Amino acid sequence: MRNPGTIIVALLILVLIGAMFYMVWRIPAPAKVSATGTPDYRVMPLRSITETLDHGITPQQVVSKTTETPNNALCSDVLAAVRAVVPLNGVQFASPGGATRSVAVYGVTTGETESRTENGIEFDLARLLYLDNDKALRSLLFATGYVDKSGTYFPMNVTDPRGKQAWATRQEAEVIFQQSGKGIRLTLTGFLRGDKEIAWESCEQWSYANPPGICSLGLDLELASHGGGSQFLQTGIAPEGWFAFGWAVELNAADATMPDNTGECVP
């Protein structure tokens, strides 16, 4: 039988040799030296770094959508009908009272209406067809009126010089906006911040010209849509799910004869 002390010494020697090899393997290789004599510390390419990240935090891909109106007989007729009653394309800004800014959109109704209830408020909506700055056909939902929590109805129309309203009840509004081809102008005056966004926090300064409670409602809707109004003003294209609220609705004298199935002509 071998001496136990000899075996223990041998094992210790093997452990020390293994540790030496481990330390040598862990030492990083020296950086390459460039022609100038400075170390060449190379950085991993950005693409390689991104590929090692979790898929949930990689940059989101942007999905582009067509901005052209389909080229067919139906859409040609729709375009011609809209152009016949729309004097200006896109979102129009003006200064009717010096520094006071206003914004307007011209279009025609499609005959589509709907109602939405949010936070106990009922909003009556209608659909508008308009032309963007590229003369492509676009679609926009806008509020024709709303019913507050007390049950009071507030129409979003413009009173004519004789003090007459185009509609005063929800039923009268339905009769008007369930017709296609009605010429419409939407306007918002006063509480704009440049040509970039609707400053709902400044709306109270114009409370004398607006229904009660409209300022807080507008602010809540803008926050809920994550700045849908700002997107519309800056791009001229209504974001999905957003509707124009607080805009005065004015019926133009000119109407148009619209073909059916106009929705398929809107990108």
Q: Can you state the angle between helices 228-235 and 214-224, rounded to 10 degrees?
A: 80
Q: Which of 220, 228, 256 is nearest to 140 (CA)?
A: 228
CA 26 to chain CA mean position, Å: 53
CB atoms within 10 A of CB 104: 17
pLDDT of residue 3: 53
Q: Where are the beta strands (DSSP E) in the chain?
A: 32-33, 39-40, 92-97, 100-118, 121-131, 137-147, 153-155, 180-189, 192-193, 197-198, 248-255
Which backbone phi and psi does 251 adopt, to 5 degrees? -85, 125
Which backbone phi and psi does 178 adopt, to 5 degrees? -90, 5
pLDDT of residue 62: 30
Asked if 129 and 108 touch (Cβ cutoff 8 Å), the reply is: yes
pLDDT of residue 6: 54
| Dist CA 208 CA 84 (whole Å) | 35
CA 221 to chain CA mean position, Å: 12
Which amino acid is it at 236?
G
- Give me 137's structure tokens: 């056909």
52, containing H or E segment: helix 46-52
Asked if 190 and 205 touch (Cβ cutoff 8 Å), the reply is: yes
pLDDT at 265 over 70: yes
pLDDT tens across 107-151, in order? Answer: 999 999 999 999 899 999 999 999 988 888 999 999 999 999 999
Percent of the chain at pLDDT exceeding 70: 71
H-assigned helices in 95-249: 170-177, 214-224, 228-235
Q: Is 3 exposed, middle or buried (0-12, 13-18, 19+ CB in 10 A)?
A: exposed
- Give me 181's structure tokens: 């081809």
pLDDT of residue 38: 34
- Give me 147's structure tokens: 């019913």
Name every residue whose Cβ is closer than 8 Å to that of residue 72 and which is 6 or more positions away in sequence: none
- Work out the mean pLDDT of the chain and round it to a whole number: 76
pLDDT of residue 252: 81
Name every residue whose Cβ is closer than 8 Å to that of residue 215 and which is 6 or more positions away in sequence: 200, 203, 204, 207
Mean pLDDT within 186-201 = 90
pLDDT at 211 over 60: yes
Which backbone phi and psi does 82 adopt, to 5 degrees? -70, -45
23, containing H or E segment: helix 4-26
- Give me 138's structure tokens: 């676009």
| Domain residue limits, the chain | 4-54, 73-265
